[in-house]
Homo-oligomer: A and B are copies of this chain.
Amino acid sequence: MAKVITRPAKRIFIADSASVVGRAEYEGPLGDCFDIYSDSDDTFGMKTWEKAESEMQRLALSRVLSSAGKSDSDIDALFAGDLLNQCAGSNYGLIGFDIPYFGLYGACSTAAEGLAIASLMCGSSFKRCAVVTSSHNCSAERQFRYPLEYGGQRTPNSQWTVTGAGAFLVTSDTADVDLGGRTVQIDDVLPGCVVDGGITDINNMGAAMAPAAIDTLERYFNESGRNAAEFDLIVTGDLGREGTAILRDMLKNKGHDITSNHVDCGIMIYNIDAQDMHAGGSGCGCSAVVMASHVIKNLRAGVYSDILFIGTGALMSPLKLQQGESIPGIAHLVHITSSEGF
């Protein structure tokens, strides 16, 4: 059994966050929570979808830095990633920042992967890090499945790649924390292992990711000795309807009932039926923008004070699928709490 819960060496805070989304996300139920949105065609003034995605990353990081009153030199390291080949969304979007840069690849789990690494790093060598991740529906669909112009029919269990970028400021410096609301703290993390459930359907990311989420949550409950009902919220990102049903069922069979307090970023972000989003949202930007807006705001407001965020990723390679392999998944867990003062 792999090692599980890891605590930062100091108290680590999420001092601030920012979210940038496309039009469909703005028109969803969380629309009012986002900081920046496209009110037209999701191009953000750029000529290609890939450039639009990079621009969202730039906007998200700029926003969180300005909101927190920080400049490039205040940030010790940047952890960033996205779904594009060679992580081009992040590499190109963040060129203009003079901040040491670590590229990550964790598919849709990248926001949680970044928060996990940043919180452990800020506990020792670094004081203050930023995490930025993104996805764009139009760049992702043409890379992984079909160009949108093709008009491919989507299956009922397929998820809609979210157009969005989220950025987080992770710090060990209490002076960074605005006491206008409750302080938001990363208590511990559980890095996930790669789990292969044997799924080979390129449309069914939820089923590919669910086994990893189950593995990670089960290990967390077992080692922490806490049960599911003790948390205000267990938020996965982003299993969609298909993966959510599998997760809840299979965890119940293992003795962990999360039905009453579990939500999924891919389900929360859209009015799924009205917006015709099939199984819900997905992508590196999905959990990033839901966490960076709605969830962090509610932690700060005291609606939640003790939550588990499980970022799930389908490590799906179209080429490996063509070669007959299945889609492995991964799920990184970040335990976040909020409290009055320090």
The chain A residues found within 8 Å of chain B, CB to CB, are 1-4, 6-9, 47-48, 50-51, 72-73, 75-77, 81, 84-88, 91-92, 94-95, 97-107, 113, 116-117, 120-121, 123-126, 190-194, 196, 315-320, 323, 325, 328, 330
Question: Roughly how many angstroms separate A336 CA and B316 CA in the complex, as a whole number?
Answer: 36
A72, A75, A107, A124: which has the most chain B beta carbons within 10 Å?
A124
Given the complex of chains A and B, what is the CA–CA distance between A48 and B4 in angstroms?
A: 34
Query: Which of chain B's residues have a CB closer than 8 A to the CB of A328?
Result: 91-92, 95
Task: Give 10 CB contacts A-B under 8 Å.
Answer: A50-B319, A85-B85, A85-B319, A92-B317, A92-B320, A95-B196, A101-B191, A102-B191, A104-B105, A124-B125
From residue A297, how far is it (CB to closest CB) to chain B in Å?
28
**Given A104-B102, A320-B50, A194 and B72 contact (CB-CB distance below 8 Å):** no
A123 vs chain B, min Cβ distance (A):
5
Q: Which of B50, B103, B320 contacts A106 (CB 8 A)?
A: B103
A54 to chain B, nearest CB (A): 9
Do B323 and A99 have beta carbons less than 8 Å apart?
no
Closest B residue by C-beta to A48? B323
Residues of B within 8 A of A48 (CB): 323
**CB–CB B2/A99 < 8 A:** yes
Cross-chain contact A315 with B196 (CB below 8 angstroms) = no
Given A103-B113, A120-B121, A51-B98 contact (CB < 8 Å): no
Tell me the minimal C-beta distance from A143 to chain B in angstroms: 8
CB proximity of A148 to chain B, nearest CB, Å: 16
Q: Which listed residue, B76, B102, B124, touches A9 by the CB 8 Å rule?
A: B124
Known contacts: A72-B2, A95-B328. The answer to whether A50 contacts B100 by CB under 8 A is: no
Let me know if A120 and B124 touch, CB within 8 A.
Answer: yes
Structural contact, A8 and B125, CB atoms closer than 8 A: yes
Say which residue of B76, B87, B117 sits within 8 Å of A102 (CB atoms). B117
Counting chain B CB atoms within 10 Å of each CB, the highest count among A51, A88, A97 belongs to A88
Q: Which residue of B lies closest to A128 (CB)?
A: B3
**A3, A51, A72, A315 — most chain B CB neighbours (10 Å):** A3
Which residues of chain B are near A323, meaning CB under 8 Å? Answer: 47-48, 50-51
